[in-house]
Amino acid sequence: MLQSYNPPYNATMVEKVIDAGGIIVGKANMDEFAMGSGSLDSCHGAVINPWNLLTFSCNQIQRSDWCIAGGSSGGSAAAVAAGACLAAFGSDTGGSTRNPASYCGIVGLKPTYGLLSRHGLIPLVNSMDVPGIMTKTIEDSVILLNAVAGHDIRDSTTVQESLTPFTLDHEIDLSKLHVGIPKEFHAPGLSEEVVEMWRATADHLEQAGAKVSQVYMPHTRHCLICYHVLCCCEVASNFSRYTGIEFGLRSGSEESTEELYAQNRHYGFNDVVRGRILAGNFFLLRKNFDRFFLKAQRIRRLISNDFKAVFDSGVHFLLTPTTLTDAPSFNWFCEKDNRSRCAEQDIFTTPANMAGIPAVSIPLRISRRGLPLSLQLMGPHFSESRLLSLAHWLEQQAGFPHLDLDFLDKQAIE
């Protein structure tokens, strides 16, 4: 739909980066309209996880069972992990920044809803979309966040105050921290390796003086189904703009306007996008509105209240896995359709979007398959400064071995 579309304006985030002296290198591949968690459903082809290059040579990959990069902002994560750029933006509606960051072994930050401007971000779900920041280190994330955060008159949902730039607290006093481990995040399908890392990290925090305790978030289990309904509803509304009249693909018969719309939308959207539009329009029918949309909104409130209750009880941050496993293989991922995979892959990441709270995925270990393993930290609204300070501490403790592809240059020279 937007393949040949050149936006006539820059996103606020892009403007701010340029103003701060940044250089824009390019745009990254992703799932079509950010719908997916594998970065496989793109009209530009699939995104391949750069960690594959440690196992396969470039020309072997396509024929092998390679690992996916995660999604939907898989291209951004792959670019940062491979060292093609220092930082990248993703869009995070249900985990699209943190999921590929986890699989590609980089830091993926989803800030508080309203901290960054969405002006210029192609919308998926307006009430959950947040521009995400992807870098190799927490330190870099802070630099980028300071450059782009704050009020934007072109996005009414941004915070009214502009953000005061902050620096990481390198002398974090763990004895004053209370970290919660949500019981409900022990989900089926969670790999042994991830559980072990999760437990070890919690123990490590405790040993370092932090208070670590189990917390309960009873409504989390409804999160994905609720997310799916709300997402489809907003998609149905948002995507009515893509008619092929003002911009974008125009490939239909011009016999009648309605026919033109129908054909443009048929050719311009993949099955996943069309499926969500159809479902959303169904949920929003007058007769279904209360049963689906309104109900989902109420459940969203309950999920959000779970977080509030936990944070109000004195817990400062929550420690959870980002993904169930390390990066899955392409063949395994394709055994199920996009929708089933999203419903399974986004399980730990969507709650933060529902509540609008900040969350960061931090790479901590290498799995037995030689792939990155990450954990997620979540905190109350606008707690970025302290959240990232703790994330920085974990990063320092873990000493994660970042992907280094310099050997490819040497091979090329030889």
Partner 1 sequence: MASLSTSDTFFKSVFPLKLRRAKLILPKPQRIFACSLCGSPQSRSLTKHSSTTQKQALNIADNGKKWQSVIGLEIHAQIKSASKLFSGAGTQFGVSPNTQVSLFDAAFPGTLPAWEQGRQEGGMESKTVDKGLSRGDGVGLMEIVTAPDFTCGDDAASFVKDLRDVLVTLGTCDGRMAEGSMRVDANVSVHLPGDPWGTRTEVKNLNSTRNVRLAIDYEIERQIEILENAGVIENETRSFDAEDGQTVAMRDKEKLLDYRFLPEPNLPPLVIHLDRSTLPSESSSLFVTLEEDGSGIDKICLPDQQREILEKDYEVPLIHSVVLVRHGLYDLFVTLVTHHNCDTRAASAILKTSYVAFLDDQKVEASNSPVSTQELAELIHIYHRGEISSSSLSIVLGELSIKQHLSCQAIIEEKGLWMVSNEEVIHAAIDEVLAKNPQNVKSYKKGKVNQLKVFTNKVIKILEGKANASHVQSLIKEKLDK
Annotated catalytic residues are: 72, 96
- Strand segments, DSSP code E, in 232-292 are none
CB of 202 to partner 1, least distance (A): 35
Q: Does 262 bind partner 1 (CB under 8 A)?
A: no
CB of 233 to partner 1, least distance (A): 6
Provide the β-strand partners of residue 107.
Answer: 135
CB of 315 to partner 1, least distance (A): 25
CB of 90 to partner 1, least distance (A): 15
Task: Give me the sheet containing 130-135, strands edge to edge.
Answer: 87-92, 130-135, 107-110, 359-366, 372-378, 317-321, 178-182, 211-215
Element (H, E) at 110: strand 107-110
CB-nearer residue toward partner 1: 121 or 303:
121
Answer for which of 8, 21, 26, 45 binds partner 1 (CB under 8 A) is 8
Answer for which of 15, 139, 155, 184 binds partner 1 (CB under 8 A) is 155
Q: Does 32 bind partner 1 (CB under 8 A)?
A: no
Q: How far, in Å, are 106, 196, 327 from residue 47 at the CA level? A: 16, 29, 12
CB-nearer residue toward partner 1: 284 or 309:
284
Give the length of the chain.
414
Nearest by Cα to 195 from 315, 379, 387, 373: 373
CB of 95 to partner 1, least distance (A): 19
Please say whether the beta carbons of 405 and 53 come within 8 A.
yes
Token reading at 232: 């489809």
CA distance 347 to 338: 14
Q: Does 207 bind partner 1 (CB under 8 A)?
A: no
Angle between helices 295-312 and 223-238 (to 10 degrees): 130
Answer for which of 84, 85, 122, 143 binds partner 1 (CB under 8 A) is 122
Q: Does 246 bind partner 1 (CB under 8 A)?
A: yes
- Binding flags for partner 1, 81-120, as an x/- string (CB under 8 A): -------------------------------------xxx
Q: Which stretch binds partner 1 (CB under 8 A): 6-14, 59-67, 255-263, 401-409?
A: 6-14
Q: Does 127 bind partner 1 (CB under 8 A)?
A: yes
Answer for which of 4, 59, 160, 164 binds partner 1 (CB under 8 A) is 160
Answer for which of 45, 286, 399, 406 binds partner 1 (CB under 8 A) is 286
Q: How far, in Å, are 108, 127, 204 from residue 391 at the CA level? A: 11, 26, 13
Nearest by Cα to 103 from 366, 395, 311, 287: 366
Chain positions contacting partner 1, by CB under 8 A: 2, 7-9, 11, 118-123, 126-127, 153-157, 159-161, 233-234, 236-238, 240-242, 246-247, 281, 284-286, 293
